[in-house]
Every structure is written in structure tokens, then in C-alpha cells.
Structure 1
Amino acid sequence: MNLSTPTPTNIEQQTQTLINHYQKATLIKPNSAKVYQDIGNLYRSLREFEPATIYYLKAIELKPDLFSVYYPLNFLLQFISWSSEQNKNQILTQGIHLLKQNIIHQPNFPFAHVVLGRLYAQQGEIEKAKDCYQKASFKQINRSYPHLIQHWNSSTQRQPDFLVIGLFKCGTTSFYSYLIQHPQILPAVTKEIRYFSSDFINDLEYYLSHFPAISKNNYLTGEATPNYFTFPNVAQQIKDWFPNIKLILLLRKPIKRAISGFYWGNQFSYRYLNKSLNSIHHLDLNLVQERITEIKEIRKLSFHQPWLSLLAEQSKQNSNINHEIAFHIASSLYIDYLPEWFKVFPKEQLLILKSEDLFTDPEKTMKQAYHFLGLPDHPLTEYRNANRNPYPPISPSLYQQLADFFRPYNQALEDYLGRAFNWE
């Protein structure tokens, strides 16, 4: 492997050095919320989720309206069980106190209720968590659809009509943002609930509390969690609860998805250190294949032993570019996951969209989605890319190596579906 950029091991060392630099900056600027946010971002890039959470909480303590911190904080809180019981309790107690105060001062920011709900859920206060989610949903609907509040019925819970099950870095954020602009689609409290792939709470009412309690039947609701697609047994769990639900899957050219996913997963280290992969010419595909096999075995574990924690731990033990990128390559082997969904759901309940079609002709692609959901077309005046992740080009030799690797998997997918994706 020819590298002029640092290996992930060196990147981790440089990231830790940068963290030390930022920590010294807090002595000079103790009230700078942005500095604490930056430290949280860097710890998150190292998969050190406990200190990342602590620094994010400190950032919003200093600046309650620093809304960009709430979303990564909500994501990290699902992994707080990794912490020792004492540290977990301290973080949850501090976070609940802080969010309750912030809600008082930020009444028009419904997502603060969502984060508070996550904190309560991790504390085992499920009823309080459900109440937070419903308050967030009520505020969202009252702000965007005030005429529907008369149909709010807190004594009943609304089931989702659709799920966008994948895949991350395939345009799901943009796609969901277009969907919820349809006048007959009501959003969940957050795009990604991640219930079936990471939540430890086996409670239907808890899950349903994330959706608006609107009783009118001519409105639809749903969520978009991109990693549902790659988790074993998720299809059956969804089927058990919602046998008639409609599923939407976006698939992107695997090379593009894998590289974009790599930069997304390492965004903070590469952004702060100004590094890129454009000097990498070759991967050791034997190591990559070995790592993919390990990842598939880890994903089969129970939710009570979070697979992501094991992946993070193994990444620290095997810090080289082959192991880092293997996770994103594994998620791009679509044929490995799709048959499980079709074993459970009939094909008419699953719409597969090509991401490139969404990128080049969003109006036509959304028309397909609306038709699938039984809704009239609703063209938008603008189709904004909601989650851009620009990255430098990779070398032609690496591109060709990845193209050769993915070719048999892509061909198998086309044969299975009887559909050409033209990803060469």
C-alpha cells in the first residue's frame, strides 16, 4: 500500500494532540461553547463517546441555542451504556437537569424535548421519555400544521405508514426532507429514530410515541433510519409489528457510497487535520475481506451487546486503512442483505430507488415515491441537497481496484432483481 497521508493510527495520535491543544484553549477561553463542541467532535471521531458526550453537554450549557450540538448528542446518548454505572448516572443526571433548563429558555426548539427523552429513556424513565417525544411532536405539528392540532388525540398512538430503511450516504436525508414537504406527510420527531437497530427498549408504545398523534386517516407518517437495511432480523421485527408497512430503500453506486461513508465516518479527524485519501493507490483486499467477515459476525449479536461498540474496539486494535474502510465496503454489498427483506416482505411493499436518479432528477424520483405511497404528486420549487459530504477524488488505481472488487456483487444484485443499475 502506497501512502503519503497518515495511517489511521497516526491520525488518532494527531487527533489526540489536537484535543490537548483545544483543552488548553479552554483555559484561555473558558466560556467558548465552540471550543467544547470542537473537542466533542474530535472525541467522537475517535469513537470515544463518553468524553464526547460530556463536552457536548458543556457546550450547550454555555450556549443553550447552539443547536448543531443537539443532534450529535442525541446520537451519542444511545451508546451511554458503554460507560461505567457511576459515569452513566452522572452524565444522565447532568444532562436531564441541563435539558430541562434549556427547554424553558428555548421553547421553540422541539428537538430539545427529543434529547431529553433520550436521556430519560437511558435512565429507565420510559413514561417520561414518551411524554417528551409527544411534546416534541406536538410542537412540530403546531408550528408546521396548526390546522391539524384539532385532530391531535393523545389517547391514541399513530403507527408509521412507511420506513426508509437505507442506506446511509445514499441520499436518505435529502429524500426524507423532500417527503415531509408533501402536505399529506407528517414527520416523526426526528428523521432517524434508530429503534430497530440500536434501542434496547422493547416497547411498541415507546416507539410509537415518536410519531404525531393525528387521527385523520388521509395523512401519512414515517421515519428514515438508514442502517436498518444491514441489520439481521430487523425485517422480521418490523413485519411483526407493522405487517402492511411500506418500505423504501435507496441504493448508490457502491464505490461512491463506500468512499463517502469512509469520509463521513472519519469526518472530524480529516476535517481538522486537513487530510484525505487521494494518495492511497492500493488496498490489501485480503485484509478487507477478513474484516468484512468479522463485521458480519459482529452484526449477528444481540442488541444487548451493541455491535457498534465492538466494531469501535476492534478498530482501535486494528488501526489501518484496510480495516477502517472495510466497514463501509461491507455496507455496500447490497446483495448480502436484500434477500432477508424479501423473505419477509412481498416485493410490492418494498420500493428500491437508485440514488443517482434522486441526485439527477429528484422530481421524477419523488413522483415514484409518492405513487408508491398512494399520494398525489407534489413537485417542489427547490430540491436542496440536505447533507452534502464533499471529499477529494480517489486515485484511478484505487478506483479500479474497488470497481473490480464490487463487480461480482453488483452483477449478483442485478441478476437477483432483474434490473440494471449501470454502476460501471
Structure 2
Amino acid sequence: GKLRYHPRPLVSKDRQDKPLNDYCRPGFLIIGQGKCGTSSLYHYIVGHPRVLPASEKQIHYFKYYSTHPMRWYLSHFPSATTYLASGALMTGEASPGYLPYPDVVALVANRMPGTKIICVGRDPLDRSYSSYRYNYINPAIEKLKKGHERGILGKQPDEYYQQFLFSFEDMMRAELKILRRCLAPNGPGELGARRQWASTTWGRSVYEQRSRQNRSMLVDLDGQCYGGFVSSKVPRIQWAELAAQQPGKFLNVHNLHLSQAMIGRSLYTYPLEWWYALFPKEDIYFVCTEEMKDKSGDPINEVGKFLGLPSFNFSGVVSEGMYNVGGHKGYDHVTTWDQAHAEQEQKEEKKRIPISDEFRKELMEFFKPHNERLFELVGRRCNWETLGDAP
């Protein structure tokens, strides 16, 4: 089950027994997206002298632990005494699992109105490829090395396992096919979302308001666009054709909800529209991942202004590097900028992303309207290559 991958954070019993007014509520949530630099952004923000960190970065309360009382959640943040003694103005957390789920949006709005919401987004093609490496290739190789798959040797070099894995292009084409169908006007994404959420207490007013304003219907991309489990060989319906064409290949990794949605989770506008439906526009801020590499720290200072923090020179914090890039586990692994220049191949990365020119062009054309819809929603633009100018 899901909880296996999100072990319950350990918080001492006495912390949980304090009255609620002994706790500080988080002033901001970084809600995602995964593989877009949420760890780095969180570290930069808590580098401000008036911000205190949570006891851990990904608490995921509103997704996995919401049946626990608020006291349990708040016990992950500094106590009021610590807070006052330090002169802090704010604390917050980052849980990339919050972004995609309408019920999470409703819970946050209900239990923590007034919280500032921050979302980070990265060039969609880059994010999709990063997700392919991190959520499919790496876990698949790790699993195959254990030697439990018939006909596949264990404990071999990584290269040996490539022959048993689907290419990035294969996986993307399979997903693109189901997304085109799901995201069509009056398609399963819209209709399924309406069926699921329009009759809830919070959903009713959201749908009525959108209908009055004649606005496009909301899409529950994660909840409605991906079919269920078929078999261990075909863990998702979108891969049925692939598995039939290339039967010797391996798909059954952990975290299927991430490997099924490499493209879907790069379409930031759909999940964000739910947040904009339940939070005031001025309480949501969108950060382009690429800007965080600006060592002057100016883009982070803009985030600080949005949070109402006193001006601060973030360049010292930003110059330490990026956090948890390249699949490092844990949330405190720093990669210095010098090391990251090996990643300046990120610029070259696009050339290295292994897809045909023809499919790259198709992806660019697919992403372009979704990016434009996002920029209109958040009121700013990101400098992404997937703006439709195919190479």
C-alpha cells in the first residue's frame, strides 16, 4: 500500500499532547511539483534568518495522515516558545505529494485558510525525463538486480538491464495516447472530475462558480486519466500495447502513480487550477525551476516578498548549491554549483534526451497550449524550451 513509501514521521508523544496554542501553524506550503527543485527551494527559504524549518521536509499530512488530529501535524513545527525566542516570523513545509489531488486542496483550504501556497515547475520535457530516470529506470534496475525476475540475471552491471527496460520515447508515446483522449473537451478528465467532486460540500460551490463565469471545466488528471492495475506484467492499462509488442520488458516498479504520469505531472496547470479555485490568487506563487539557479538569489527574494518576509540577500544560501538533484535520497544532500556544472549538461540534456526529432516536435506541440494556459493562470512566464519552438 501507499503508506509503505511514506513511513509515518516519528514525533514524541509529549509534543503531540500540548494544547494547540503551543504550536505555530505553517505560514507556507510548497506543494510540488516533484522533480522540480522543491528541496532546493525549501532550503533556500528556511535560509532566511526569520524562517524556522519543520522537523522534516515532507510531512505529507494532508495526503497520507489527515485522519490524525491537527495537533499531530503541528507537532512537526517549532513550538510557540522556540518560535518566539528565535524571533522567527514563519515556518513551513514542502510536500510535493500535495499538488495533484483535489481532496488535498479542499483539506488544506478547510484546515489552514490563509496559508501561502508555493508551486515550482520545470521545463516539462526536462521534468518528464528526470521522472523517467528517477521513477522508472533507477527503481527497475534496483529491483532486477535482486534476481527475482524469471530469465533476468541478478547482480549484473546497470548496462545489462537496459535491454529489459522500455525507452523514454516508448513510455511517453504510450502515455501521450491516453492523455489526448482524457484531456479532450468533455473527456474522462473533466467528466470524471465532475462525477467525483461536484457533489462534495466544497466542490458544489466551486462548480457553480465556474459554471456562472463560463470557465473551462476542472480536470482531475491524476485521479481520472490513468487506468487501473491489469497484471504484474501490465501494471497500467496505458502500457498494454507496449507489453504486447515487447513482452520481455519490465514495468512493475514501486510508485506506479509516478511512473505512469511522466507527462501528466508536467502539465502543472490542471492540478493548480483546483488550488486557484479554493485559494485567493494573491496567496499562490509559481516559481520556475530554472530561475532558482540565479546565484544572485533575486528570484528567491521575490518568493520572500510574496511571503511577507523582510528583504534578505539569499545569494549566500543559493550559492551553496542545489539539494537532492540526480536522485539522491533524503532531503539534505547538497550538490555544489561546481558539481552541478557537470549538470550544465542540463543545457545539453535536451540534445541528449533520447527521443526522435519527430516525436520531440510532437511533444513540443502538445505541451505548448498547456504551458500557455499555465502562464495565464499564474500571471507569469517561464523560459522553457517546450514553448513550441521545436529545434
TM-score (norm 1): 0.57
Partner of 1:328: 262
Partner of 2:320: 383
Partner of 1:227: 97
- What are the superposed Cα offsets for residues 218-257 of structure 1, whole Å, 9 maximum, x if unpaired? 4111100112111113223212222221111111111111
Equivalent residues of 2:105, 2:278 under 8 A apart:
yes
- What are the superposed Cα offsets for residues 24-80 of structure 1, whole Å, 9 maximum, x if unpaired? xxxxxxxxxxxxxxxxxxxxxxxx879xx6xxxxxxxxxxxxxxxxxxxxx3436xx
Please point out which of 224, 232, 235 is paired with 1:316.
235
**Number of aligned residues:** 286
How many Å separate the matches in 1 of 2:279 and 2:177?
35
Q: Which of the pair is proportionally richer in helix? A: 1
RMSD, aligned α-carbons: 3.8
Partner of 2:30: 164
More deviation, 193-202/171-180: 193-202
- What are the superposed Cα offsets for residues 295-318 of structure 1, whole Å, 9 maximum, x if unpaired? 88599599xxx979x978356154
Q: Secondary structure at the match of 2:297?
A: helix
Partner of 1:280: 169
For the pair 1:394 / 2:357, whether they are aligned, the reply is no
Equivalent residues of 1:295, 1:311 under 8 A apart:
no
Please point out which of 13, 16, 34 is paired with 1:131.
13
Please point out which of 70, 73, 78 is paired with 1:207.
73
1:398 Cα deviation after fit: 3.3
Please point out which of 77, 84, 95 is paired with 2:7.
77
Partner of 1:243: 113
Partner of 2:140: 269
How many Å separate the matches in 2 of 1:156 and 1:363?
34
How many Å separate the matches in 2 of 1:227 and 1:329?
16
How many Å separate the matches in 2 of 1:316 and 1:279?
17
Partner of 1:421: 382
Equivalent residues of 1:164, 1:247 under 8 A apart:
yes
Q: 1:378 to 1:132 in 2, by over 3 A?
A: farther
Greater RCO, 1 or 2 (C-alpha within 8 Å, sep 6+): 2
Equivalent residues of 1:134, 1:211 under 8 A apart:
no
How many Å separate the matches in 2 of 1:405 and 1:350?
26
Q: How do 1:54-203 residues align onto structure 2 when only pairs under 5 Å count? A: 75-77=5-7, 114=9, 117=10, 131=13, 156-203=22-69
Q: How do 1:17-32 residues align onto structure 2 when only pairs under 5 Å count? A: none
1:288 Cα deviation after fit: 4.5
Amino acid at match of 1:412: R
How many Å separate the matches in 2 of 1:311 and 1:184?
45
Q: Secondary structure at the match of 2:52?
A: strand
More deviation, 221-230/283-292: 283-292
How many Å separate the matches in 2 of 1:132 and 1:311?
44
Please point out which of 272, 276, 280 is paired with 1:342.
276
Q: 1:164 to 1:316 in 2, by over 3 A?
A: same
Amino acid at match of 1:286: K
How many Å separate the matches in 2 of 1:295 and 1:262?
23
Equivalent residues of 1:291, 1:326 under 8 A apart:
no
Partner of 2:210: none
Q: 1:155 to 1:326 in 2, by over 3 A?
A: closer
How many Å separate the matches in 2 of 1:415 and 1:250?
16
How many Å separate the matches in 2 of 1:311 and 1:204?
33
Q: 1:386 to 1:401 in 2, by over 3 A?
A: same
TM-score (norm 2): 0.62
- Percent same amino acid at aligned positions? 25
Q: 1:317 to 1:200 in 2, by over 3 A?
A: same
Q: 1:49 to 1:166 in 2, by over 3 A?
A: closer
